[in-house]
């Protein structure tokens, strides 16, 4: 079994494209779901055979794989879960992420060789709960998102040192305690606790008085708007040192349903930040280019959540949409005869200023010219979806690795 690296950069994976991206851009571990019992039904997810392939790919790179089994199963599901766990264990996964105590007991029975990680859905907020879960067989606890660094520090001090502590450090936040929400189920019939959240917290709400049907009065929490339940995104990239000092084992990035571009950029940012911190742990500060990187993916306004106490500005009132400053336009396939070979992801044209992002490096800007299509004909733009094209290698300082991202500011 592949050992955990500390602090671990834990990346989200929803399909093979995102898995390859996470592996390329430096994840120490990935978490993913099967077609059953996971909390993200919107992701492509992995059946048993594809899960086996995914584990083999990750282990070949020295990367651990954690399988989400964190839904709250009903009677008919729990009756067949033992067989599922045995099959999943046979693929070589390194850990099961579970919420339900009945599932925890089945994991110990069906696959005692696989680590058990307690999901954030369990809502662990104190050292005694964490210690009891360790006594029951948990190797790791994913702490509730509502904890401060001071509270995490106490949990670390009062729990067995062998118990690993994982926290979310980046991505979307739920307005309900540790994701325990019934709003989606009530309003749409889609159960958030079974991986089907419709995100009604992102909707625009108004007040209606019963004797004035059809008249909608905005609910203003301040002068900016009415999205009173819409949480900001989390970003703790600047505070890697404080997380490590508090005793955190694993830094978890949210986003199994997000794009491979998001997975690559954010994983790369946390990989580089962790490596920089480990190289200079005393008086560490985040390099400025990394702070810019996490703003080059689609995101809501960033916050530090509850890590520094109750947030004064925890909601995003302006709207439910994302801030989007960059688009991926191509992936690098290789180099041949002095030309960089690429596959198009979005349209751009000759003369545009683009950015190359390689794993473990700061982005490099260049002005694209001399483009040719896959047949070697000169072109002025990349208008065809997924088309092959190339440009001269001399436009870049070095030849980029396969899978490197090319993007454009929008």
Is there a contact between 35 and 43 (Cβ–Cβ < 8 Å)? Answer: no
Distance CA 197, CA 105 (A): 27
Q: How many CB atoms lie within 10 A of CB 207?
A: 11
Q: What is the pLDDT of residue 301?
A: 86
Peptide bond into 7 cis (omega under 30): yes
Q: What is the pLDDT of residue 312?
A: 63
Q: What is the pLDDT of residue 365?
A: 97
Distance CA 95, CA 233 (A): 27
- 97, with CB counted inside 10 A (0-12, 13-18, 19+), is buried
Residues with pLDDT less than 50, the chain: 224-225
Place of tokens 């290698």: 393
Q: How many CB atoms lie within 10 A of CB 297?
A: 26
DSSP state of 254: P
Q: Which two tokens stand for residue 78?
A: 């729990």
| In 238-289, beta strands by DSSP E | 250-253
Is the pTM above the cut of 0.85? yes
Q: What is the pLDDT of residue 371?
A: 98
- What are the tens digits of pLDDT across the range 388-408? 999 999 999 999 999 999 999
Q: Give the three-state DSSP class for 334.
A: strand
Is there a contact between 167 and 142 (Cβ–Cβ < 8 Å)? Answer: yes
**336: CB partners within 8 A, 6+ apart:** 390
Is there a contact between 40 and 33 (Cβ–Cβ < 8 Å)? Answer: yes
Distance CA 131, CA 140 (A): 10
Question: CA angle, corner 280, sides to 275 and 283, nearest 5?
Answer: 125
């Amino acid at each position: 079994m592949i050992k955990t690296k500390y602090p671990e950069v834990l990346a989200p994976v929803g399909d093979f494209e995102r898995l390859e991206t996470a592996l390329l851009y430096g994840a120490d571990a990935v978490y993913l779901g099967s077609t059953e019992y996971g909390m993200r039904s919107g992701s492509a997810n992995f059946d048993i055979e594809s899960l086996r392939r995914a584990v083999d790919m990750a282990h070949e790179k020295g990367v651990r794989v954690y399988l989400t089994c964190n839904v709250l199963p009903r009677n008919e599901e729990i009756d067949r879960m033992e067989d599922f766990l045995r099959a999943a264990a046979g693929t070589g996964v390194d850990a099961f992420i579970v919420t339900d105590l009945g599932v925890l007991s089945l994991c110990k029975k069906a696959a005692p060789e696989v680590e058990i990680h307690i999901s954030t859905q369990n809502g662990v907020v104190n050292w005694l709960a964490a210690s009891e879960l360790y006594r029951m067989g948990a190797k790791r606890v994913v702490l509730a998102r509502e904890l401060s660094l001071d509270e995490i520090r106490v949990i670390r001090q009062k729990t067995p040192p062998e118990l690993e502590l994982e926290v979310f450090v980046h991505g979307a936040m739920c307005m309900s305690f540790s994701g325990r929400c019934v709003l989606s189920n009530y309003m749409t019939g889609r159960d958030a606790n079974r991986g089907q959240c419709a995100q009604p917290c992102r909707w625009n709400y108004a007040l209606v008085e019963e004797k004035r049907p059809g008249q909608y009065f905005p609910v203003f929490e301040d002068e900016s708007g009415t999205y009173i339940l819409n949480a900001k995104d989390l970003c703790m990239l600047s505070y890697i040192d404080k997380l490590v000092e508090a005793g955190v084992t694993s830094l978890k990035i949210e986003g199994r349903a997000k794009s491979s571009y998001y997975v690559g950029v954010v994983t790369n940012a946390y990989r580089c930040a962790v490596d920089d911190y480990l190289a200079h742990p005393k008086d560490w500060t985040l390099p400025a280019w990394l702070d810019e990187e996490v703003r080059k993916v689609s995101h809501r306004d960033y916050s530090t959540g509850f890590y520094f106490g109750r947030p004064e500005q925890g909601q995003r009132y302006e709207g439910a949409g994302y801030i989007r400053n960059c688009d991926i336009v191509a992936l690098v396939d290789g180099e041949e005869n002095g030309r960089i070979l690429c596959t198009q992801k979005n349209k751009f044209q000759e003369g545009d200023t683009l950015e190359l992002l390689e794993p473990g490096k700061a982005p490099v800007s260049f002005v694209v010219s001399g483009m040719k299509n896959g047949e070697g004909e000169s072109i002025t733009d990349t208008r065809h979806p997924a088309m092959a094209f190339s440009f001269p290698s001399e436009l870049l300082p070095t030849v980029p690795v396969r899978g490197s991202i090319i993007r454009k500011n929008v």
